[in-house]
Amino acid sequence: MRLLFLGDIVGRPGRNAVTERLPGLRDRWRLDCVVINGENSAGGFGINEAICDEILAAGADAITLGNHSWDQRETLVFIERQPRLLRPVNYPQGTPGRGANLIDTRSGHRVLVVNVMGRLYMDPLDDPFAAVDRELETCPMGQVADAVIIDVHAEATSEKEAMGHYFDGRASLVVGTHTHVPTADHRVLSGGTAYMSDAGMCGDYDSVLGMQKEESIRRFIQKTPGARMEPALGEGTLSGIAVETDDRTGLARRVAAVRLGPNLEETWPRFWD
């Protein structure tokens, strides 16, 4: 299978990068499944239903969230009727929505997508390791799912790496989100799971993590209240990771970083060209 995971969409530049590029990439790379983190897609804070529908229509099979899941209050309602929008699986019992789902892809494969949030320097949610364990036990790769993608929305690289190794051999891809900066450690772990500490963001990199530079810098210098943070409005760059799996096992065979757009050096899976 050919999998593509794209990092946090930040505002309109990130949405434009996805909607303009993704349809062509699905055809060019013959992608089986695309998962995108959309937790900053609505003006940098959360997601709304119209944007969710826009991202799915552009070619995403599933959308994951994170610590900004509920910044748009309407998400608490529409997430219940949108099974392809996932919030972290380790939210307390009774939280609206779902944290994992077995997605039927256009190519006829079944992909388990799990969204989980770390606890280091983040909200103190339930144990992320145990929460994902439960999902993998009920939907094991190679038996129920053809592939498994785990989005670890976390601040600490150590926590992301620990989860990568812990789930090595039981998932096709463990990928980090949240820090908005693509890391250079994409690789296939010893047990056959593709890993990357952070997929980066889909947004304007002439910014501070996708937000306008001026207010971000002012807050560091003055430490006083100011204007509302707004997304930078330059051209967006598409950032993420591409994975090719073994159809028999679901484990990763090849992996490559994806960066398409200005400000960063472009790279893509040349083994698919």
Write the secondary structure of the chain as one string of H (helix), E (strand) and C (coil).
Answer: CEEEEECEEEHHHHHHHHHHHHHHHHHHHCCCEEEEECCECCCCCCCCHHHHHHHHHHCCCEEECCCCCCCCCCHHHHHHHCCCEECCCCCCCCCCCCCEEEEECCCCCEEEEEEEECCCCCCCCCCHHHHHHHHHHHCCECCCECEEEEEEECCCHHHHHHHHHHCCCCCCEEEEECCCCCCCCCEECCCCCEEECCCCEEECCCCECCECHHHHHHHHHHCCCCCCCCECCCCCEEEEEEEEECCCCCCEEEEEEEEECCCCCCECCHHHC
Q: Is 178 annotated as a binding residue?
A: yes
Residue 159 pLDDT: 98
Pick the catalytic residue: 68, 109, 165, 186? 68
Q: Is 68 a catalytic residue?
A: yes
Residue 156 pLDDT: 98
Residue 55 pLDDT: 98
Residue 273 pLDDT: 87
Residue 114 pLDDT: 98
Domain count of the fold of the chain: 1
Residue 12 pLDDT: 98
Here the CATH number for the domain that contains residue 201 is 3.60.21.10
Q: Is 180 annotated as a binding residue?
A: yes
Residue 69 pLDDT: 96
Domain that holds residue 143: 2-272
Q: Is 153 annotated as a binding residue?
A: yes
Residue 193 pLDDT: 98
Residue 225 pLDDT: 85
Q: Is 40 annotated as a binding residue?
A: yes
Neighbours of 120 (CB within 10 A): 13
Ordered mean pLDDT values, 10 residues apiece, the chain (273 residues): 98 98 97 98 97 98 97 97 98 97 94 98 96 97 97 98 98 98 98 98 98 94 90 97 97 98 97 92
The span from the CA of 235 to the CA of 202, in Å, is 10
Q: Is 186 annotated as a binding residue?
A: no
Token reading at 257: 């970083």
Residue 172 pLDDT: 98
Is the pTM higher than 0.75? The answer reads yes
Residue 223 pLDDT: 82
Helices 11-29, 49-58: axis angle to 10 degrees equals 20
